[in-house]
A and B are shown apart, each in its own frame.
Chain A
């Protein structure tokens, strides 16, 4: 993979990453925030695979597989917590979850 092609992948990754970060910062809905985090992880995966191809090593792809697995676990736990919140408050708005502060 040459530099030019690599840069295009990296750019895609960076754009996805930024969208994800924006989503975490701007969205109040907990589920959407979770999805935004997933988006960031996928941006990382694109980067990893692109770099793997660039260096001609398998590490990037292996790492991407690990990330996919971890992301699944993370989202599982995250959704469970969000569900717990929903049961108690009938809302998944993160701005409602602000009892402790100061």
Chain B
């Protein structure tokens, strides 16, 4: 029977296409996935335990290697003659946008891995799994950022998410970690299902899942807005909104951030959010730019709700992790303000914000991981009293990172907010800009509360305690602080990188003969 089947196949009048792959374009993803599998294999094949820290080191090296592999890609897409290109039968797009997002996601991997090392040893959970999961999750994130097809987008999203569900539930002895895992999983799967339904509707409305073909189809049929496509857009927005924790899809974030292992949260708050926004921008800004007038008001409302919820609810918290969870919701709202602008400046502002924010938030959660005690407890505001005395350098670094999150000048956070607001005003959304700034003022109170707790004195300061600072965590702190402060003083470099990281749509799979002009990005 097999033979007859084979016969049929080979006689088939239509030969099976062999997809033309530009391997270089996929190199970062391949390095991440291959590396993750390699670590897994080594972990199960090597009989005795490796030196502690070797998995973290391997993860950092892999992420750095993926970065190195991405450098020629960046040079290539910036080259006027060669430019961006699509690969894997047009399902993957390598352009400035995807490479920029890849860099940011990989930075998040490095910071989270450095933070994981000491934390895992303290919790006596040292092993390969967290690193493997994070590398796989990062590969999903990179796929989302470079997806040129909704199938790839969905695959990326699921690879990203499933690994993160496990990362959240990873702490076997901590009951809130499992609670975080189950909450994240149920809600995540729920919203992914909506996302998927949305893709199906869009496929039904346009006949394709390829973003380029969707855009072409939509611009060709100008007669009226299709109900299928609009409903599909609404559901896609649910999926992305959930990943970036935009209200009213944000409910999971505070509980999950509070319960999940802190280094996992560092990754969730940075890398996962970057991937979510990258996907959101690619789909809405690029493929559905013709429906701009339909989705802009929705993003407007989402941004307002998100910023308000994030800032107002942060004020009433007493747990530092939870405070930062709400503040990260507020940050997501800010980035939505940039998305709402739906201009090149808006995309650039969003990318700048994401890059700056990744270092701030990964650094901040890195500090929380250091300050917490065995069992991943001790994250309430009271645990931070007297930190300036017990660990002055850590307290100072944390204060700077928090000020950066508040958007104080001379930190990257200031320019991140500055660009977002400028983009919003240029796009005519002054109302949104003003609301954004009001919420920024509200949430600056939260950061201040933490700083005051660290530096405050008086009767309620607990007795001194020793807080060990693992070298890797210290390195992560140094990196994030260096980036935050240097971008704050010289924002030009990052801003010009973000400016050149424009997403494009090119209906082409052969990297050799790409028309560099491509389809103009958006309106």
Contacts and interface: CB of A to CB of B under 8 A. Distances in A.
Contacts of A30: 182, 186
Interface stretch (B73-81, B201-209, B391-399): B201-209
B185 A41 contact: no
A62 to B, nearest CB: 7
A84 B162 contact: no
Contact of A63 (B181, B182, B203): B203
Among B155, B190, B201, chain A packs the most CB atoms within 10 A around the CB of: B190
A40 B235 CA distance: 13
Interface in A60-83: 60, 62-63, 66-67, 70, 73-74, 77-78, 80-82
Interface in B181-204: 181-183, 185-186, 189-190, 192-194, 196-197, 199-201, 203-204
A17 B193 CA distance: 9
A44 B166 contact: no
A44 B190 CA distance: 13
B255 interface: yes
Interface in B417-431: none
Contacts of B158: 70, 73-74
Interface in A21-37: 24, 30, 33-34, 37
Given A51-B203, A84-B172, A78 B197 contact: no
Nearest to A101: B255
B197 to A, nearest CB: 5
B154 interface: yes
B461 to A, nearest CB: 25
B204 A51 contact: yes
Interface string B151-163: 1001100100010
A96 to B, nearest CB: 9
Interface residues of B, number: 41
Contacts of A77: 162, 165-166, 185
A91 B259 CA distance: 19
B258 interface: yes
A19 interface: no
B166 A100 contact: no
A66 B182 contact: no
A99 B197 contact: no
Contact of B169 (A47, A51, A81): A81
A59 interface: yes
Contact of A85 (B166, B178, B199): B178
Interface of B: 151, 154-155, 158, 162, 165-166, 169, 172, 175-176, 178-183, 185-186, 189-190, 192-194, 196-197, 199-201, 203-204, 207-209, 254-255, 258-259, 316-317, 322
Interface of A: 10, 13, 17, 20, 24, 30, 33-34, 37, 40-41, 43-44, 47-48, 50-52, 54-55, 57, 59-60, 62-63, 66-67, 70, 73-74, 77-78, 80-82, 84-85, 88, 94, 97-102
Given A51-B203, A52-B203, A67-B196, 8 more contacts: A37-B189, A41-B196, A44-B200, A50-B204, A59-B208, A74-B189, A78-B186, A84-B181
